Structure 1
Amino acid sequence: MYSSTPLTMATVEHCLFCFEALSANLEKRTPMTLSQVQSSWNSYPNGLEEEEALSSAQDGDVEAVARLAPRNPALQRLAESRNSAISSGSSTPASNSSGSSSNTFANESAITTPGTSTDSFSPVGLNPRKTRQRGNEITESPLFVTWNTISPLTPSSHRSLRGCIGTFSTLPLSTGLSSYSLTSALQDHRFPPITLRELPTLEVSVTLLTDFEPCNDAMDWELGIHGLRITFYAKGRNYGACYLPDVAVEQGWDKEETIVSLMRKAGWGGRREKWRDVADLECERFQGKAESVGYEDYKEWKEWAEK
C-alpha cells in the first residue's frame, strides 16, 4: 500500500493566490500576499458555505446542501440535482471533475533546453480533482501550476492546456506559487504568454507534490496514484521528463504507454519497441492531489475582498 501525506494538499486559497498573482502582474498592481488571501477566504461566506455543502454532499447530507443552496447558485443546482435523484428513486453520485485535458505534448521542459535534466518541468495538462481540503498548516512544498482555457460551449466545459510548469524543489508556498503562476502563464514555450483579456476564460489548478520514492524499475508505480519523473541516456544525450499523477489515467494509457509517451516528451525518437534498450533509465514516483478554481470564482471572491 502506498502512503500519502494528508496535509500536503492544494487548497482553494492556493488557487486564488495564483489568480491574484497573475491578475496583478497583468494589471500592473501590487498583489495580495498568500496570508492575506488565506485570511480573507476564512471570512468569505460563499467560499466556506460551498466547502461545507460539498463536504455534506459527499457524505450524503442532502438537507445540509438544501439549507445552504438559496444563497449560492452552484449549490442550488446541486440541491436540485439531488432532489431530482431522490424523487426518481435513483442515486446520483457527486462528480468532482469534468471535462478533458489537452492532448498537446511538449518535447521537454518549458524553461530548459531539450535533452537536459532540471528541477523544473512542464507536464501535459491535467483534469484537476476538486479536493476542497483545507491545508493552511503547510507552508512549503514542491509544486506545479497549470492554466487551462475553459470552453463553456463544448460538452462538459472542455479544458485546453494553456500553460503548466512546476518544480520538484521544496519552496515556500508564498513565493513558489507566485513565481510559478507567472512562469507557467507567461513562459511556457509551447504557448504565447497569457494576456489580460484572456483571464475570464481561465481556470487554474495547483498540485502540491509529496511521497517521492525511487522506482525499482519502470513499472514500479501505480496508475491513478503516482506521477512519474524519468531520466535516461541515449545517443550521447541525457533526457528527462515528467507527468503529474492524473495524466496517464485521463489519457487512457497503461504503464508502458505512459513510459513511452514520457520518453517522447523528453525528445527521444527511437522505435517504440526499443524503449527498454536506452541506458540508465531511472524512474521516480510521487503523489499529489490537485485543486482548481475558475476565474468567475476568483472574481466573486476578489470583489468581496475589496469591499
Structure 2
Amino acid sequence: MPGTEDETETVLQTCHTLNETQQEKLLVLARQAIAYYLENERFMEVSSDDPGLKQKAGAFVTLRTRWEPGLPPDEAARLRGCMGHMEADEQLLKLVPVIAVKSALRDPRFPPVTAVELPKLLLEISVLSSFTPVTDVTEIELGVHGLVIQSGRKRGLLLPQVPGLFDWTLDEYLEAICRKAGMHPGAWRSSTLLKFTTQGFEEDE
C-alpha cells in the first residue's frame, strides 16, 4: 500500500507549485539516482540553481510496472515500491533521489528492483502540501486529501490516491489509516488526524 514514511516528528510545510520543467527534472533525477545506486552502491551527488527545486517539502516516490504488450492485465500498473519522507526539512533536489532509491531497493514489502527491471517501471512523485488538523471528518475529500494519524509513538500516512485504488468509502479510509499506524480501526476518534494534498506527477508511458 503506498505511503510509507520515516519515523520522525511532523513538521508543517508550505511548498510552492512546481512547473512542468521542474517536475520533469525531478523525475529524471529520481530515475538516474536509482540507476546510479544500482551500479555504484552509493547515492549520486546532485546540484541545481533552480529555487523551486531547492524548496523544502515532504515527498513520496512510487514505482509501478509499466504497461507493455503481452503483460497480463493484473500486472499492469502493479505497485513495485513506495517510500517517502513527510517532513519539510530537506530540499526536494536532495530528498527525491534518496527516497527514489529507498522505494526501489528498501521497501520491505518487495524484493529490490534490479537494473534489468528498472526500464519496465514508471515513477511517480508526490510532493506534499502543508498539514491541516481535521476538525470534522466530513471535511475529508476522497481522492483529494491524504491523511496522517498520530497518537503517542504510533503514526501512519496514506496518500490521497490510495482510497481510489481500493474504492474505499470514507469510513474504510479512516479505518485503513488506523491500521497503517498499528491502531485499532476506531482510533482516529481519539488521535491527532491531519489532512494534506499533493502535487503528483509521473513519467509518460
Q: Same fold (TM over 0.5)?
A: yes
User: TM-score, with normalisation over the residues of structure 2?
Assistant: 0.77
- 1:13 aligned onto 2:25: yes
Structure 1: which 5+ runs fail to align?
Answer: 39-135, 298-307
Whole-angstrom distance in 2 between the partners of 1:18 and 1:5 = 19
CA RMSD, Structure 1 to Structure 2 (Å): 2.9
Whole-angstrom distance in 1 between the partners of 2:39 and 2:180 = 34
Please name the residue that 1:291 is paired with: 201
Q: Where do residues 220-235 of structure 1 align in structure 2 (5 Å cutoff)?
A: 220-232=139-151
Given candidates 93, 96, 105, the residue that maps to 1:177 is 96
Whole-angstrom distance in 2 between the partners of 1:232 and 1:32 = 37
Per-residue CA shift, 1:237-264, capped at 9, x if unaligned?
x532111111112321121110111222
Compared CA separation, residues 282 and 139, structure 1 to 2 (3 A): same
Please name the residue that 2:124 is paired with: 205
Q: Where do residues 1-307 of structure 1 align in structure 2 (5 Å cutoff)?
A: 7-8=17-18, 11-28=23-40, 31=44, 33=46, 35=48, 137-140=52-55, 141-152=57-68, 153-155=71-73, 158-170=76-88, 171-232=90-151, 238-268=153-183, 270=184, 275=186, 280-293=190-203
Tell me the number of residue pairs that the alignment of Structure 1 and Structure 2 aligns: 185
Q: Is contact 2:43–2:98 with CA below 8 Å preserved after alignment?
A: no
For residue 211 of structure 1, report the CA deviation from its aligned partner.
Answer: 3.1
Compared CA separation, residues 34 and 258, structure 1 to 2 (3 A): farther
Q: Name the one with the larger helix percent.
A: 1
SS of equivalent residue, structure 2 residue 117: helix
Compared CA separation, residues 197 and 169, structure 1 to 2 (3 A): same
For residue 230 of structure 1, report the CA deviation from its aligned partner.
Answer: 0.9
Compared CA separation, residues 137 and 265, structure 1 to 2 (3 A): closer
Whole-angstrom distance in 2 between the partners of 1:214 and 1:27 = 43
Per-residue CA shift, 1:69-99, capped at 9, x if unaligned?
xxxxxxxxxxxxxxxxxxxxxxxxxxxxxxx
SS of equivalent residue, structure 1 residue 158: coil
Larger radius of gyration between Structure 1 and Structure 2:
1
Residue 128 of structure 2 aligns with an amino acid whose one-letter code is L
Structure 2: which 5+ runs fail to align?
Answer: 1-13
Residue 148 of structure 1 aligns with an amino acid whose one-letter code is R
For residue 8 of structure 1, report the CA deviation from its aligned partner.
Answer: 4.6
Please name the residue that 1:47 is paired with: none
- Percent identical: 28
Whole-angstrom distance in 2 between the partners of 1:290 and 1:22 = 19
